[in-house]
C-alpha cells in the first residue's frame, strides 16, 4: 500500500478565466478500487490527465507508484495484437496474459490477429489485461464501458472486482456497484471521497441534500420571523424616541432607558438575522439541479404503430438479423437488446425510413412522426442557436433543457466540436425532448452521459410515458424504463 497525495492543486486551461480545480487536497490509497463520478464537464478526465503529468498546475501531486491510463493509445493498429501487448508491457509473461484473457472470456487466437480486426470488446479486454500485468502500477480507467454490450460489461465488471489499485470513470451504476469499494465525486463546489459504492454514495447524497433543504427552509422561516420582529422593534423605538422629546412626558429618563433596551434588542435581532443568512448561504452549494425535464409526445389515432413479423435484415449478402418479430403499441417503452453486431441499430434505422434490404413483413403506420437520437455525434458543429434553427425546434426551450442538464451559459457560445462526449449526447437528447413525436427512437443515448443526468432522464420517461424504442447497455436504466425487452 502507498498513497497518492494531492495538495492544494489549482488548475485552469489556458485562456480560461475559471479554474477547473481550486486549492484541492485529498489522498488516494493505491489499494483502493476507486469509482469516479460527477456531472459532464466537471473535470474528471482533466483530473486523470493531471495525475499523468500532462498539464502544468500549482500545488503538488506525489506518490510512489507508476500511473497507467486506459484506453492506451495504440499508434499502429494494423500490427498483431501480441506485438501491441509487447509494446505496452515488454516484461509480461505469456502464461500470465493467457490466464487473464481466460478470465475475460477472450480466446488466445486473438493475440495472433491484427489489432484492428478485434471487436471493441476484445480490444478493451486485451488492453486492460496488459495494463494490469504491469508491476507497481495504478490504473486510470476512463469510461471502459462505452463500446461494450451488456454481456461484455458484466464480464469486465467481474474482472475488475478481482483487482485493486485503480480509478474507474464510469456512468453505469450497476457496473460501478459491482467492482468498487470507494468513490470519488466531483461536486459543484468541492471534491469528496467516501467508502462504499455508487449506491451508498448516492443514498448519502440524497440524505445530505434533504437535510440541507430542510435546514434551508427552517432558516428562511427564521429570517422572515426576525425581519418581522426587527420591524416591530423599529416602530416601537421610533415612537419612544418621539416620546422622549415630548414635553408632556413626565419621566424622560424611563423612556430613554426603554429606548436603549429596544436599541439593544434591535442590534441583537440584526446579529441573529446576519448569522442565519450566513448559515443559509453555506447550504445548498452541492445540491444538483432537480428541475424535472419535460417532453410532449403526440397521440396517434390507433394503438399499434410498428409491426415486425419474421423480418430478416441484410447488408448485401451479409445477414445482420434473422426472423425478428415484435410490435410497438402506444405507451410501450421497448428495450432492444443483443450483442454488438446483432442488428439493433439496423432495425432502428429501418423504422426511421432508411432504405435497407429485408424479408418478412414490416409495417409502420402512415404519417408517423418519429424523433431519433443516433449513436453518432461526430456531425455536431457550430453553435447551439444555429443547431436549434436547423433542427426546427424552439431555441429557448432547447437551451432551458440543456441548463437543467447542467450546461453552463458559457457552453452556449462554444462550438459543439469542443463539447465533451457527454455534452454532445445531451444536445441530441435535448433536441429530441423538444420534438413532439408519436414514437421516440434512441440508439445508445446514454453513452458518456453522467449518472445524475441519467436519473433525470429516467424520471422524465416514467412521468411523461412517451412511446419509446431504445438500445442501451446501462442495466439499471433498462430495468427501470423498459416495459418490454426484445432480445436479438
User: What pLDDT sits at residue 258?
Assistant: 58
- Does residue 318 sit in the same domain as residue 432? yes
User: What pLDDT sits at residue 408?
Assistant: 86
- Does residue 136 sit in the same domain as residue 266? no
User: What pLDDT sits at residue 263?
Assistant: 60
- Does residue 217 sit in the same domain as residue 329? no
User: What pLDDT sits at residue 213?
Assistant: 84
Q: Select from 140, 151, 153 the least CA-distant residue to 63.
A: 140
- The Cα 364–Cα 132 span in angstroms is 49
- Does residue 173 sit in the same domain as residue 59? yes
Global pTM reads 0.84
Domain count for the chain, please give it.
3
- Does residue 225 sit in the same domain as residue 177? no
Q: Select from 329, 14, 45 the least CA-distant residue to 186.
A: 45
Q: Select from 326, 457, 474 the least CA-distant residue to 404.
A: 457
For residues 166 and 66, the answer to whether their CB atoms sit within 8 Å is: no
> Coil, helix or strand for 304?
strand
Is 243 within the bounds of a domain? Answer: yes
User: What pLDDT sits at residue 334?
Assistant: 98
Is 440 within the bounds of a domain? Answer: yes
Q: 224 to each of 82, 263, 406, 433, how far by Cα in Å? A: 71, 20, 31, 39
User: What pLDDT sits at residue 250?
Assistant: 53
- Does residue 222 sit in the same domain as residue 342? no
Burial code (b: 16+ CB inside 10 Å, e: under 16) for 79-114 equals eebbebbeebbeebeeeebeebbeebebeeebbeee
Is 292 within the bounds of a domain? Answer: no
Is 269 within the bounds of a domain? Answer: yes
Domain that holds residue 179: 3-197
User: What pLDDT sits at residue 299?
Assistant: 95
Look at residues 143, 163, 197 and tell me which one is the last residue of a structural domain: 197
- The Cα 287–Cα 27 span in angstroms is 24
Is 287 within the bounds of a domain? Answer: no
User: What pLDDT sits at residue 228?
Assistant: 79
- Does residue 138 sit in the same domain as residue 42? yes
- Does residue 254 sit in the same domain as residue 337? no
- Does residue 121 sit in the same domain as residue 139? yes
Residues forming a β-bridge with 306: 328, 364
CATH number at residue 323: 3.40.50.300
Tell me, rounded to whole angstroms, the distance of Cα 232 from its chain centroid.
50
10 Å Cβ neighbour count for 411?
Answer: 21
- Does residue 191 sit in the same domain as residue 218? no
Is 288 within the bounds of a domain? Answer: no
Give the pLDDT means over successive 10-residue stretches in the chain (488 positions).
Answer: 92 84 94 94 92 94 93 93 96 95 94 93 94 94 88 94 96 96 91 95 91 83 78 67 56 55 64 66 66 90 96 87 95 93 92 92 96 95 96 96 91 91 95 97 94 94 96 95 95
For residues 425 and 467, the answer to whether their CB atoms sit within 8 Å is: no
For residues 471 and 336, the answer to whether their CB atoms sit within 8 Å is: yes
User: What pLDDT sits at residue 483?
Assistant: 97
- The Cα 312–Cα 286 span in angstroms is 50
Look at residues 134, 168, 197 and tell me which one is the last residue of a structural domain: 197
Is 299 within the bounds of a domain? Answer: no
* Cell numbers linked to 22: 481550486
Is 182 within the bounds of a domain? Answer: yes
Q: Per this entry, what is the length of the chain?
A: 488
For residues 430 and 293, the answer to whether their CB atoms sit within 8 Å is: no
- Does residue 336 sit in the same domain as residue 444? yes
- Give the side-chain half-sphere CA count within 13 A for 151: 11
- The Cα 285–Cα 279 span in angstroms is 12
- Does residue 185 sit in the same domain as residue 145? yes
> Which H or E run includes 66?
strand 66-70
Q: Select from 422, 424, 473, 447 the least CA-distant residue to 45.
A: 422
Amino acid at each position: 500500500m502507498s498513497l497518492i497525495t494531492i495538495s492544494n492543486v489549482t488548475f485552469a486551461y489556458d485562456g480560461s478565466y475559471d479554474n477547473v480545480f481550486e486549492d484541492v487536497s485529498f489522498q488516494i490509497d493505491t489499494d483502493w478500487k476507486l469509482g469516479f463520478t460527477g456531472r459532464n464537464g466537471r473535470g474528471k478526465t482533466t483530473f486523470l490527465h493531471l495525475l499523468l503529468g500532462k498539464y502544468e498546475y500549482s500545488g503538488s501531486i506525489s506518490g510512489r507508484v507508476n500511473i497507467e491510463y486506459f484506453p492506451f493509445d495504440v499508434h499502429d493498429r494494423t500490427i498483431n495484437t501480441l506485438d501491441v501487448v509487447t509494446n505496452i508491457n515488454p516484461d509480461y509473461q505469456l502464461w500470465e496474459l493467457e490466464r487473464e484473457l481466460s478470465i475475460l472470456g477472450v480466446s488466445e487466437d486473438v493475440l495472433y490477429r491484427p489489432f484492428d480486426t478485434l471487436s471493441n470488446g476484445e480490444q478493451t479486454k486485451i488492453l486492460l489485461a496488459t495494463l494490469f500485468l504491469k508491476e507497481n502500477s495504478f490504473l486510470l480507467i476512463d469510461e471502459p464501458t462505452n463500446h461494450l454490450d451488456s454481456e461484455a460489461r458484466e464480464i469486465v465488471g467481474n474482472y475488475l472486482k478481482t483487482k485493486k489499485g485503480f480509478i474507474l470513470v464510469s456512468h453505469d451504476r450497476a457496473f460501478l456497484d459491482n467492482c468498487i469499494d470507494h468513490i470519488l465525486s466531483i461536486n459543484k463546489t468541492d471534491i469528496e471521497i467516501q467508502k462504499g459504492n455508487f449506491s451508498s454514495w448516492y443514498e448519502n447524497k440524497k440524505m445530505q441534500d434533504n437535510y440541507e433543504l430542510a435546514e434551508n427552509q427552517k432558516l428562511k422561516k427564521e429570517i422572515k420571523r426576525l425581519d418581522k420582529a426587527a420591524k416591530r422593534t423599529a416602530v416601537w423605538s421610533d415612537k419612544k424616541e418621539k416620546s422622549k422629546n415630548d414635553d408632556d412626558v413626565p419621566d424622560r429618563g424611563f423612556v430613554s432607558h426603554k429606548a436603549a433596551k429596544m436599541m439593544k434588542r434591535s442590534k441583537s435581532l440584526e446579529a441573529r438575522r446576519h448569522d442565519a443568512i450566513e448559515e443559509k448561504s453555506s447550504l445548498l452549494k452541492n445540491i444538483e439541479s432537480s428541475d424535472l425535464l419535460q417532453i410532449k409526445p403526440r397521440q396517434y389515432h390507433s394503438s399499434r404503430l410498428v409491426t415486425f413479423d419474421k423480418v430478416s435484415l441484410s447488408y448485401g449478402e451479409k445477414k445482420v438479423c434473422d426472423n425478428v418479430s415484435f410490435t410497438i403499441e402506444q405507451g410501450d417503452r421497448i428495450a432492444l437488446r443483443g450483442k454488438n453486431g446483432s442488428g439493433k441499430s439496423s432495425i432502428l434505422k429501418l423504422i426511421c425510413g432508411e432504405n435497407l434490404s429485408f424479408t418478412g413483413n414490416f409495417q409502420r403506420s402512415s404519417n408517423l412522426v418519429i424523433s431519433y437520437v443516433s449513436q453518432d455525434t461526430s456531425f455536431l458543429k457550430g453553435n447551439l442557436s444555429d443547431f436549434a434553427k436547423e433542427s426546427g425546434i424552439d431555441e429557448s426551450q432547447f437551451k432551458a433543457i440543456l441548463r437543467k442538464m447542467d450546461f453552463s451559459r458559457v457552453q452556449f457560445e462554444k462550438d459543439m466540436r469542443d463539447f465533451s462526449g457527454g455534452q454532445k449526447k445531451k444536445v441530441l437528447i435535448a433536441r429530441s425532448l423538444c420534438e413532439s413525436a408519436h414514437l421516440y427512437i434512441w440508439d445508445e443515448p446514454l453513452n458518456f452521459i453522467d449518472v445524475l443526468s441519467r436519473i433525470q432522464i429516467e424520471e422524465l420517461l416514467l412521468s411523461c410515458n412517451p412511446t419509446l424504442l431504445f438500445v442501451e447497455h446501462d442495466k439499471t436504466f433498462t430495468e427501470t424504463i423498459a416495459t418490454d425487452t426484445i432480445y436479438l
